[in-house]
Structure 1
Amino acid sequence: MKDFLRSVLLVLVLAAVPTVSFAQAGRSDRLSQLENAKIAYITDKIALTQDQAQKFWPVYNDFSDKRRELNRRLRQLRITAPDALTDQQIKDNLTQAMDLREQEVKLEKDYFNKFQKLLSIRQVGKLYSAERDFTREVIKRVADRRGPRTAPSSTRTDE
C-alpha cells in the first residue's frame, strides 16, 4: 500500500511539471515546481529515509548549484561564433572549456565521496540513474506537449 501511495504521489507531482514555455511569465514558479518534482522523484527512486533526506538534500543542492554554474559558464563560451574570433581567442575559449569540464569532473568526484558518506553505495548508484531518468522524462513530456516535429526535408536526392 505504501508503494502504491508513493507511486500516486509521484504521478501527481510529475503531472505538475510545467507544460508551457519557460520564457513566459511565472518562470520561477515553474522552475520551483520542476525542482519539487525532481526532489520527489529522486527521493522515491533512491528510497531516502527521512533522516537521510535531511542530510542529503542540502549537500545535493550545493552540488547542483555548482554544477549548474559550471555549465552556465561553458554555455557562455559556446555562444560566440568562431568566425567572429581570432585564432588566439578560439584557442583560449577551447582551453577554458576544457578547464571547465575538468572542474566538473573534479566536482563530481568530490560529491561522489560526500554522497557515499550519507547514502549506501547502491543509493548513490541509483541517484545517478534517477537524475538521468528524470531528465529524460521531463524532456519527453515537454516534447509530447509541443506535438510532433517534422524533420527538415533533405535537399539531397538519391538517383
Structure 2
Amino acid sequence: MKKGYIILLIALCSVNVFAQSKDEKIKTLKIAFITEKLNLSKTEAQKFWPIYNAYEEDTNSLRNEMKAQRKSSDIDNLSETEANTLLNSMVQSNEKRLLLYNQYINDLKKVIPAKKIIILKKSEDDFRRKLFEEYKKRHQDDKR
C-alpha cells in the first residue's frame, strides 16, 4: 500500500514538473526523494514538513544575506578595518546558521526518531550528489 502512495506521489510530482521552473522542479524532486527515503507516517509527515520547510527557508535567507554581503564588498580595495568588519559579520552569520541548525534538530527530534533524522541527512547528501552527477552528465552531453 505504501508503495502505491509513493508511486502516486512521484506520478503527481512528475506531472507538476512540466509546469514548473527549474528550482521548483528540483524542490519537487527533492521532496519526493526525501519522502521515499524517510518512509514517514501520515502523522510524522504532517509535523515534519512544516519544520523542514521553515528551516530550508531560513537557511536560504541567511545564505542569500551572506552572499549579498560578500558581493557588495569590493574585496580588492578593502581597508583592514572594513575587512575585520566583514569577517566579524561572516562569523556572526555562521553562528546564526549553527543556532538555526541546532534548533532544527531539536524540533525534528520532537516529531521523528533520531534514526530518521540521520537518514534525512544522508538522503539530502545523496540527493545533492545525484543532482550534481546529473548536472555533469548533461553538460558533458552538451559538449558533444
**Counterpart among 122, 137, 140 of residue 144 in structure 1:** 137
Structure 1 residue aligned with 2:41: 49
CA distance in structure 2 between the partners assigned to 1:13 and 1:141 by the alignment: 18
Cα shift at 1:29: 2.0
Cα shift at 1:75: 1.6
**Counterpart among 31, 36, 50 of residue 23 in structure 2:** 31
Structure 2 residue aligned with 1:124: 117
The yes-or-no answer on 1:100 pairing with 2:75 is: no
The yes-or-no answer on 1:113 pairing with 2:106 is: yes
Q: Report 1 or 2 for greater relative contact order, CA contacts < 8 Å, sequence distance ≥ 6.
A: 2
For residues 75-90 of structure 1, the aligned pairs below 5 Å read: 75-79=67-71, 80-90=73-83
Residue 69 of structure 2 aligns with an amino acid whose one-letter code is L
Greater Cα shift, 72-81 or 60-69? 72-81
Cα shift at 1:17: 7.4
Higher helix share: 2
Q: What TM-score, normalized by structure 1, do the two folds share?
A: 0.75
CA distance in structure 2 between the partners assigned to 1:56 and 1:105 by the alignment: 20
Number of residue-to-residue matches in the alignment: 141
Q: Which has more radius of gyration?
A: 1
Structure 2 residue aligned with 1:60: 52
Instruction: Give the conservation status (yes or no) of the 8 Å contact 2:17–2:28.
Output: no
Encode CA deviations 1:74-129: one digit per residue, 9 max, x unaligned. 22233234212221111111110110000000000001000000101100111111
Listed as ranges, the gaps of 5+ residues in structure 2 are none
